[in-house]
Amino acid sequence: MFEILIRNGLVVDGSGSAGFRADVAIQAGRIAEVGLLPAAGAATIIDATGLVAVPGFIDMHSHADFSLPVCPTAESLVHQGITTAVVGQCGFSPAPLLEETREQAIRMMEASIGRAGKPLPWERWTGFKTYLEDLSRTGTSLNVVPLVGQGTVRAGVVGFGPGPATPEQRSRMREAVAQAMDEGAFGLSTGLIYPPGSFTQTDEIAAIARPVGDRGGIYFSHIRGEADTLLTAISEAIRIGRESGAAVQISHFKVAGRKNWDTVERALALIDEARIEGLDVTSDLYPYLAGSTALSALLPQWAHEGGKEAVAKRLADPGVREKMTVSMQSEGFAKDMEWDRVLISFAPGKAEYQGRYVAELARDQGKSPHEWLFDALLETGLRAAMITFMMSEENRLRELRHPAMMIGTDGMGYALSSSMSEGLPHPRSYGTFPRLLGHYVREEKVISLEEAVWKMTGFPARKLGLRDRGLVKKGHWADLTLFDPERVADKATYVSPHQYPEGIPHVLVRGMFVVRDGVHTGARPAGVLPRQ
């Protein structure tokens, strides 16, 4: 007698192989048998006729570490079939926090993340280990794979100014990264368009990433630009992997800006060439044509020096505003920006801005887009967030088919109730994985079902070294997702994002239902995964 028996589903096991009809038996949190088991009994039997049974999806790029402490059930992620999330991305991890720079680092991260909901309970941790212990003690509805953020480490040791770290500071950062790895980090992340990561030179990153390479970890990077500087930025990420010995994951791959779209083939070729060289270089994406980040990311790099208070002081100075406008028109994220394609997704204290485009808002107030931006940042305490439409569908199809591409939401765990339902977050937090299955697999037939499942399960598990996850296989943990291949679809939109997908009735984590018959059970059987 098994605990759970999933009968008569189409098993797509995560290896890339063709699906097959089978039953899946679960005992003590693990997969006990996979095959035709007509005589088997179980305390709970799920009739999976018409459903596909796959390994739970692995979100290779998540910011759920900034939502899990206040929303451990992570409904918007779990309802997608996600059972594991890789967090600590883009250079930002909630730990480690050094006492002398703790408050400033917290303010930096809160301004950069740009989400609704209650503040994190920062008082519950200081070091990386105590943060991970806090997550596991609380319990989460999905497994957590943690990274340590280079931006957090540099903010703590060097501060928020430009320029290279001193030898002593490099040593301290390298020790902090090594300690985080020894305490459970799977790797190091960078966000090289965000301060203080943007102030960091390549050789410094490679140096502090060496403890990652020494321990068989991964260097995840939001690279130093995804528009004009895309090719040099990808080359930099590969160089850091080569010099540090770390595997490389290029985060949320995109070619941003109409005039750069034709560089996609060369960008993907750089990854191919590195892999031919023998380097472990892979990437991930979300299946949308818009990105999202903090509105303050549009400011020139120099404007971020000194942290949040210094930025606010500059924004209040008319002379500095003029200098910022000139810089933004000639360099950085805001260069060539199409303001009628920048949607405000979150504006605390100014909800009337949400769901409207900057060009429209500026016109209504009789301001230039730059002037409106500066005012809006001050009005929202620098916490406003935006969605920018900047990618090509033709490129997205090519990128999805690339053999080194995985899938990540670049999102957080939201919910339909409480403060986590405020604002208009990018729909990727609710719809990434079902959108791939429904739109790009079933409707557009861009890739096969088996290849899509491989990109969402077996492939990332292999990259992360999760030897007992990512496959529907006897002995593996029973992290499983069941979906209807004819109905699975995302429902979240840019103007109405807080909608769960349809066609995913059951999700199990460690052999326990976290979604059953389409309803979140409230179960929190998971926590931080150990490195294997």
CATH number assigned to the domain with residue range 57-293+390-464, chosen from the 4 options 3.10.690.10, 3.90.550.10, 3.20.20.140, 3.30.870.10: 3.20.20.140
Beta carbons within 10 angstroms of residue 22's beta carbon? 21
| φ, ψ of residue 21 in degrees (nearest 5) | -75, 125
**Average pLDDT, 10 consecutive residues per value, the chain (532 residues):** 97 98 98 96 98 98 96 97 98 93 87 80 94 95 98 94 94 97 98 95 98 98 96 98 98 96 98 98 98 94 91 96 95 90 95 96 97 97 95 98 98 90 94 98 98 98 98 98 98 97 98 98 98 91
Q: For position 448, what pLDDT does the model report? A: 98
* 25, 292, 464 from 53: Cα distances, Å: 12, 32, 22
pTM of the model: 0.97
3-state secondary structure 71-126: CCCCHHHHCCCEEEEEECCCCCCCCCCCHHHHHHHHHHHHHHHCCCCCCCCHHHCC
Q: For position 476, what pLDDT does the model report? A: 98
Would you say 252 and 61 are in contact if contact means Cβ atoms under 8 Å apart? Answer: yes
Cα separation, 44 vs 162, in Å, equals 59
Q: For position 138, what pLDDT does the model report? A: 93
Q: For position 417, what pLDDT does the model report? A: 84
Q: For position 418, what pLDDT does the model report? A: 79
What CATH number should be reported for the domain whose range is 2-56+469-485+499-520? 2.30.40.10
Would you say 481 and 54 are in contact if contact means Cβ atoms under 8 Å apart? Answer: yes
Would you say 310 and 296 are in contact if contact means Cβ atoms under 8 Å apart? Answer: no
Domain positions in the chain: 2-56+469-485+499-520, 57-293+390-464, 302-387
Q: For position 494, what pLDDT does the model report? A: 96
Cα–Cα nearest to 285, from 412, 406, 414: 406
Collect all residues with Cβ–Cβ distance below 8 Å to 166 and sequence separation of at least 6: none
The DSSP 8-state label assigned to residue 418 in this structure reads: G
Integer-rounded Cα Rg, in Å, for the chain is 22
Q: For position 47, what pLDDT does the model report? A: 98
Cα–Cα nearest to 185, from 56, 77, 73, 87: 87
Cα separation, 470 vs 476, in Å, equals 8
Q: For position 420, what pLDDT does the model report? A: 87
Asked if residue 196 has a cis previous peptide bond (ω within 30° of 0), the answer is yes
List, as own/partner pairs, every contact residues 303-306 make where C-beta atoms lie below 8 angstroms and the sequence separation is at least 24, other chains included: 303/327, 304/160, 304/195, 304/198, 305/160, 305/161, 305/162, 305/195, 305/199, 306/160, 306/161
